[in-house]
Chains A and B, each alone.
Chain A
Amino acid sequence: MIGWALLVTMLAAAPAGAEDPRVPEVPSPIAPSSEFPGPWDALVYPLRRLYLEARALEVGGDLAEAETRYQRLVELDPTWTQALVDLGRVQEAQGRLDDAEATYERAPYDADAVEALARLYDRTDRPERAARQYRRLRELRPDMRAFRIPEARATAATDPRAAADVLRELLDGGGADPGDEELFEAAGEVARALHRVGAVAEAAELLSLLLERVDPDAPSGSAAIARLQALAERLAIEQEARALAAAADEPLNPAQHARLVSAREAFGAGDLARAEATLRALLDEAPRSARAWAVLADVLEARGDIAGAEQAIRMAEGLAPLAAEHAARLGDLLSEHYGGRYDADAAAAYGRALQRHDAPPELWFRRGELLRRAGRPEAAVASFRRYLEVAPRGEHAEEARRVVEGWERQRPPPPEIPTAPGRPAHVPDAAWFAHHLAYVLYDRADGDPAGLRAALEALAPARALAPDFVDSLNLEAALRADLGELEVARSLYEESLTRRADQPEILVALSRLDAQTGRTDIAEARLARAATLGSATALLELARRDARAWRLLSARRRLDAWFANPGSGFDHDEAVRLQAEVQQRLRGLIAGGALLVAGGVGVPFAVRRRRRSGRPLDDLLQASPAAGREVARIASAIRHEVLKHHTTVLGSVAEALELRDTEPARWAADKLFGPTGAVARFHGYVEELRVLGAVYGVRLNLRHRDPVFGPLIEAMERLSALEEELRTGGGRKLAGELRELSFALNRAGYRALGSLIRRVSLLELDEAVLRETWEAVLREPAFREGPPVELRVELPPERVWLRIYRSDLHDLLVNLLRNALTATAEQGGGPVRVAVRTEDDAITGLERAAIRVADMAPRRITTAMIRGRYIDRGLGLAVDLVSRNGGSVHVEDEPGWSKAVVVRLPVAEHPGDEDPETEVR
């Protein structure tokens, strides 16, 4: 009490600042109010002076002195908590955080102290405590929203859902700018936290809410939207990386594998009970085998245990999250067996599968169907659109089979499996996560160089922190190979094999690199080694090579081995196709009875027989000129739809390959191959020709007997054989082959097709043709006894090549001349004149031949009458023929004659080199 009185006296006598030169004048930090009493008003005047001095010292940087004065104030008036907050602040500023914490804790009901304490906990990375203080602050200052963002961040660490509620409340309450940097950061943290606890949908919902609230017309609106979308994408990637890091697909040992094969066999033979028992026993022993779970799902589905099948396939997906097939299979199950109740889940499963680059495009269609059924039409339309983008001419998947109604069984709880082996001891956490993050980015890149580089960047910490980690080494090698850095990739793979020899898939990858750089012998040796180590991929590749080289027995042996040790589900279709092809060829050989040796190379008799039999296209055209129109159409379509825009790039692809740029080759492969690619279209047209021949009774052998199509088909076959190399980016050897093919297809083939089109669609109109026709008409019974009629012919100096099919021209001329002769005969005779002139079109520059047939008969018809199929003068057929050949018929005045029927037909300037494509569509 003495101290108090003394201090009051002292301060009253000596104002701050006047006495102590270190103390600057500062304004009061608390605005006085004349209307309402506040904490400042509660302070007696001497203490106000003391407080002002402390503030001035703090502002001047003398924290120790300021602290002394704040301390004194707290002692003098413990109820004035403003001094406590200030005291804590200067303690924090001096690095004495424990003291500051203790100071703030002395005022648990003062909002400023609570807020300061919360921020201190934030600062010292104690989010749980911070969150508690923020919650207290919410009670003390219910209307104040400024601390909601730090509250959400602090809460996210312990209760992400509550943190999301805080942000939602903030957004719903208005006043928050969704583009605000701090809010964006907080939303990112909360969404990540939600992901960590598996609340993926809630995270997406939160980001959607933010997206909804962004004003796209605001100055930074579009940037904020892009940032939020990027965040959502990033979260999805991180989620996959986490799933992958936690996954632990375990390969089977040979004995276990044999049991899997045995189960498959039992399944194939319809013995479902034995298959299931075998698989369950196998899974007891190897519970982390995704393949075993996937096969069990098949078996259970066949047994009608759909819930069990679903559980099994979910296990497979969890164990091998990067394999599209398991997610796709789950989608199938959910959509087919639950009466539509799980359509949304099925669509989500397809969505996961579609994030994998090996997912078939049909999934987009199926996903769309499901979303439509699930009442999400907009998302369905988006999925259908995507399907159309990736497979514009793909066959629609069959409608999802009718679902089983009334399926009420509960899904069983998931079986417990042992903890995954997880991260090797020598790989730090950060490296482990970086590796998986890079893996997901790699998978998503789907060959895009920017994506590959991003994956490489993400992988860098893993490589630096754990240089001995073989999986990361392999991943970097794969990335380098895809980026075209083939030599770097090779040396990384080789290093990997020196660290761990037992890696068959790495041998396969190396063999691909060898093949790309022309080391075919080494490539084959590596594949053989990989196959002996159990690589199904290597086996299939070797079988493919054997089949290509007509080593059919070897191919069959390898395929048998493959089916005993099957690889992925997506390879299965290819293996089945190859097996059927090999069997078919072998049957052909057996039917032939023998293998003949020709020129040191064994050529199957059946093949030789096939080559010799059948006829070239010319035989069809000569035997059946009417087929010419279709032949020309098909040849024109090949030029336009197959060669133009498609094979024309082969030369440029070759140039790029020589510069080690493999990306154009992959791009070209996408355009050329697949069910809607140019090569498939070409073979479709060739098949059309074969059918056309069959219709006219001519068995065509275009591959071996036709001079136009033989080389084209051979070139296309060679091109098909290069598909894989194009996709993986070959070297100079591939470039050389592409150049040869470019010449064969784009130069020689293009010209040969043009010649063929011209041969069947261009005819010269000369005097001999006209007179021959005239004579033929005169020999008709109707005109044999008639008066003599003279034919006058006038032709232009240049030769006239009509674009018309032979039979049509003959019929047309007969019709025109017969008509003129009839009219003239009715008049008792007289001349008929046929004058041919060429005219050109002002815009297109195209020429037409005007065939003017003039007679002296009285004018009785008009153009309109002719076009209306007025057949009094027998011109109906002529009108049809002319129309069919892109021409016109008019009735015109002709000086010196009563009238002229004028037929105009398109002409070709010269039959040699002209491009006839557009006229034969």
Chain B
Amino acid sequence: MRVLVIEDGLEYSELLRRFLGEGFAWERAGSGPEALRRLEAERFDAIFLDMRFDRAPEGELLGDLEAVADRFNGDPVQARRYIEDHQGTFVLAALRHAGRTEPVLMSYDFDGEPRRWERLVARYGPVAYLPDNASPADIAVRLRALVRGDAG
């Protein structure tokens, strides 16, 4: 299974390559725009998407800083942080807006936010999630299920 890991660091891609070598081929994109470019050019079976992008350069972050700043009394610092903290959803929205239909596994704990999760699934499915304390084995199981069509 060929999976595009979208994260601003190298942690997931390194960890997944190390512990889930068999049956998976992991590629990495460091930002939403890079992911969109790669998806345009290559075929992937699934996408593994981190939520927080606090190391990505500003130019590589998706999201309208000015519009978001209005949510924080016009404070661009908080807006930037908000965009970083939730960049995963900005990327997800951008993927679907661009017509990408690959299933997405998000690394974030939505367990306590069922309403939010329902909204995201309705808007941007097929998508599943795992909390970021998930082990590589959990990730493998969930990805396989997702590609089979079971978003879980």
Query: A845-B119, A879-B73, A918-B86 are known contacts. Are A908 and B112 too (CB-CB below 8 A)?
Result: yes
Q: Give the segment of A370-378, A431-439, A647-655, A828-836 that binds chain B.
A: A647-655
- A interface residue count range (under 10 / 10 to 19 / 20 to 34 / 35 or more): 35 or more
CB contact between A845 and one of B52, B82, B117, B133 (< 8 Å): that residue: B117
**CB of A921 closer than 8 Å to a CB of B:** yes
Please, what's the 1-or-0 string for B92-118, where 1 marks a CB less than 8 Å from any CB in chain A? 010000000000000011111111110
Query: A882-B73, A883-B75, A904-B71 are known contacts. Are A652 and B135 too (CB-CB below 8 A)?
Result: yes
CB contact between B19 and one of A664, A747, A842 (< 8 Å): that residue: A664
CB contact between A664 and one of B18, B75, B78 (< 8 Å): that residue: B18
**CB of A667 closer than 8 Å to a CB of B:** yes
Write the chain A residue with the least CB distance to B94: A843
CB distance from A265 to the nearest CB of B (A): 49
Complex alpha-carbon distance, A295 and B51, angstroms: 56
CB distance from A413 to the nearest CB of B (A): 53
Say yes or no: A918 contacts B133, CB within 8 Å. no
Say yes or no: B135 contacts A651, CB within 8 Å. yes
**CB of B137 closer than 8 Å to a CB of A:** yes
Chain B residues closer than 8 Å to A909, beta-carbon distance? 112-116
Chain B residues closer than 8 Å to A914, beta-carbon distance? 109, 111-113
Please, what's the 1-or-0 string for A897-921, where 1 marks a CB less than 8 Å from any CB in chain B? 0000000100011111111011101
CB contact between B73 and one of A639, A750, A867, A919 (< 8 Å): that residue: A867
CB contact between B135 and one of A648, A845, A867 (< 8 Å): that residue: A648
Say yes or no: B116 contacts A888, CB within 8 Å. no
Say yes or no: A915 contacts B72, CB within 8 Å. no
How many A-B residue pairs lie within 8 Å, measured between CB atoms?
115
Say yes or no: B132 contacts A845, CB within 8 Å. no
CB distance from B71 to the nearest CB of A (A): 5
Query: A844-B90, A914-B111, A918-B85 are known contacts. Are A883 and B133 too (CB-CB below 8 A)?
Result: no
Please, what's the 1-or-0 string for B29-46, where 1 marks a CB less than 8 Å from any CB in chain A? 000000000000000000
**CB of B125 closer than 8 Å to a CB of A:** no
Please, what's the 1-or-0 string for A185-218, where 1 marks a CB less than 8 Å from any CB in chain B? 0000000000000000000000000000000000
Write the chain B residue with the least CB distance to A840: B119
Say yes or no: B133 contacts A750, CB within 8 Å. yes
**CB of B56 closer than 8 Å to a CB of A:** no
Interface of chain A residues 620 through 672 with chain B (CB within 8 A): 639-640, 643-645, 648-649, 651-652, 655-656, 664, 667
Complex alpha-carbon distance, A887 and B72, angstroms: 5
Chain A residues closer than 8 Å to B108, beta-carbon distance? 915
Write the chain A residue with the least CB distance to B75: A883
Interface of chain B residues 102 through 149 with chain A (CB within 8 A): 108-117, 119-120, 123, 131-137
CB distance from A910 to the nearest CB of B (A): 5
Chain B residues closer than 8 Å to A919, beta-carbon distance? 85
Say yes or no: B137 contacts A651, CB within 8 Å. yes
Write the chain A residue with the least CB distance to B19: A652
Interface of chain B residues 1 through 52 with chain A (CB within 8 A): 11-12, 15, 18-19, 51-52
Chain A residues closer than 8 Å to B11, beta-carbon distance? 644-645
Query: A845-B89, A914-B112, A915-B112 are known contacts. Are A649 and B119 too (CB-CB below 8 A)?
Result: no
Say yes or no: A645 contacts B70, CB within 8 Å. no
Query: A645-B15, A648-B135 are known contacts. Are A915 and B73 too (CB-CB below 8 A)?
Result: no
**CB of A579 closer than 8 Å to a CB of B:** no
Say yes or no: B72 contacts A746, CB within 8 Å. no
CB contact between B116 and one of A639, A648, A742, A846 (< 8 Å): that residue: A846
Chain B residues closer than 8 Å to A649, beta-carbon distance? 15, 19, 135-136
Write the chain B residue with the least CB distance to A751: B133
Complex alpha-carbon distance, A867 and B75, angstroms: 10
Write the chain B residue with the least CB distance to A651: B135
User: Which of A's residues lie within 8 Å of B, judged by CB?
Assistant: 639-640, 643-645, 648-649, 651-652, 655-656, 664, 667, 742, 746-747, 750, 754, 840, 842-848, 867, 879, 882-883, 886-889, 904, 908-915, 917-919, 921
